[in-house]
Amino acid sequence: MNASTPRTAPAAGRITAIRGGIVDVSFPEPLPRINERLQVGTVALQVVSLTGGGGVRCIALAPVRGLGLGAEVTATGAPIIVPVGEGMLGRMLDVFGAPLDGRPPPEAADQRPIHRAPPLLTDRRARAEVLETGIKAIDLLSPIERGGKTGLFGGAGVGKTVLLSELIHNTVEHHHGVSLFCGIGERTREAEELFRDMGDAGVRDKMVMLFGQMAESPGVRFLIGNTALTMAEYFRDDRGQDVLLLIDNIFRFVQAGSEVSGLMGRMPSRVGYQPTLATELAALEERIASTNTGSITSIQAVYVPADDFTDPAAAAIFAHLTASVVLSRKRASEGLYPAVDPLASASVMLTPGVVGQRHYDIARAVRRTLADYDELRDIIAMLGIEELSTQDRATVERARRLERFLTQPFATVSASAGTSGKMVPLEDTLTGCETILGQSRFDLPESAYYMIGTLADLKGAA
């Protein structure tokens, strides 16, 4: 029997134990199946394991306040099913596809289970296309693959959400397909601000926004990504469209899985994470793919605990990505925004065969110049720049101007920063870096290169 096929006669069970967001229920035969939705009053449960002796263990998808031992539980005979279709566009929805924006429920073209298998290997299609973002540091050093997965890595306070918001602003407006934003563990304030900002930017009607908020149960945060992917797969497979999926923050998905695992009594693995970390993450990430009908391009913010990039969660997420944009706390402290670390960021697209020989050579030259400057920092700190050779001093001058040229004013923070955002075409970025790399003497101070768009803005900045 298919997992999405409802049973004809749902059975009734009784609650036998409640531990945080985990609820044990005893049932007469036949038992509910894994991933089946159960209902007790207004609280939905999802079966995650069979305990033996006629019992099932479930995660609660709402607060369990008011539930008691012996309460009657109804088996629906089907998994969690959400609406999909064009009617979802412009709406803010929860894990069940129910509205969070105070409007009536959206009109659905179909209803689909949130647990679905990834596309078959024979149905997948490899695409060697770059998604231009208008952000200099990303387009130059870590180009995003259309139909691939990109991670924005960084600790707390280095600008992940701001950078993701700018990517939404730049790409959704020029994206000809459909966009989905999935907020996992978002603060309510952030969700409300994003909903309002997307409306002000005039792009909300082309977006679906889904939220499993920080105050909700770990089960909701654990499953909201599956809901988002089910809706994205409809637009990719049924409508043949390109989908842009933005996730903030994928680490909260891992964190919610860790909470659920601990409440279920599983023995923790490395650094306290769940032993099923790799499996759970792969089940979500492998559904993000390009097929013969369309594509899903994913950009994911990734919180890095204590700035430790060897953390098991960060390492597991990194394995699924085609591009990684690493945000540096050191660069953020120097006011170099976006705080993209040019030496740690990478992309499989940065090859001559994909981006072209010129782009590849300029990116390598920029990295080499910044790496040479990094090695000279200690000498400058101890002895001063005057002790460097003429060649090394020229390298330092080029590197410091490149660092500042790769900063950029963002439209999403223009009101608070007092600047107007600038979207820079890739060709202007390449020309600017090529010009700086080719100079050994500079007429303008390095501060003139800070927070400008193209080199044409230099005179005004100076």
DSSP state of 327: B
Q: How far apart are CA 425 and CA 257, in angstroms?
A: 40
Q: Which residues pair with 299 in a beta bridge?
A: 150, 246
Length of the chain counted residue by residue: 462
Q: Is 50 helix (H, G, I), strand (E, B) or coil?
A: strand
Q: Is 403 helix (H, G, I), strand (E, B) or coil?
A: helix
Catalytic: which of 103, 187, 270, 364?
A: 187
Q: Respond yes or no: is residue 86 known to be catalytic.
A: no
Q: Which residues pair with 326 in a beta bridge?
A: 153
Question: CB of 46 within 8 A of CB of 59?
Answer: yes
185 — alpha (psi -120 to 50), left (phi > 0) or beta?
left
Distances in whole angstroms, Cα of residue 184 to Cα of each of 187, 287, 301, 417, 421: 9, 17, 10, 27, 27
Name the phi and psi angles at 101, rounded to 5: -100, 10
Residue located via tokens 């691939």: 148
Of the candidates 420, 419, 452, 414, which has an alpha carbon nearest to the alpha carbon of residue 433?
452
Q: How far apart are CA 227 and CA 231, in angstroms?
A: 6
Q: Respond yes or no: is residue 129 known to be catalytic.
A: no
Catalytic: which of 36, 145, 166, 186?
A: 186
Q: Which two tokens stand for residue 44?
A: 């939905």
Q: How far apart are CA 383 and CA 392, in angstroms?
A: 14
Of the candidates 125, 113, 49, 101, which has an alpha carbon nearest to the alpha carbon of residue 76?
113
Q: How far apart are CA 149 and CA 284, in angstroms?
A: 12
Catalytic: which of 149, 160, 221, 404?
A: 160
Question: In what side-by-side order are the strands of the sheet with 91-93?
Answer: 91-93, 207-213, 178-186, 242-248, 295-303, 149-154, 323-326, 346-347
Q: Respond yes or no: is residue 160 known to be catalytic.
A: yes
Q: Is 145 helix (H, G, I), strand (E, B) or coil?
A: strand
Catalytic residue numbers, as ranges: 160, 186-187
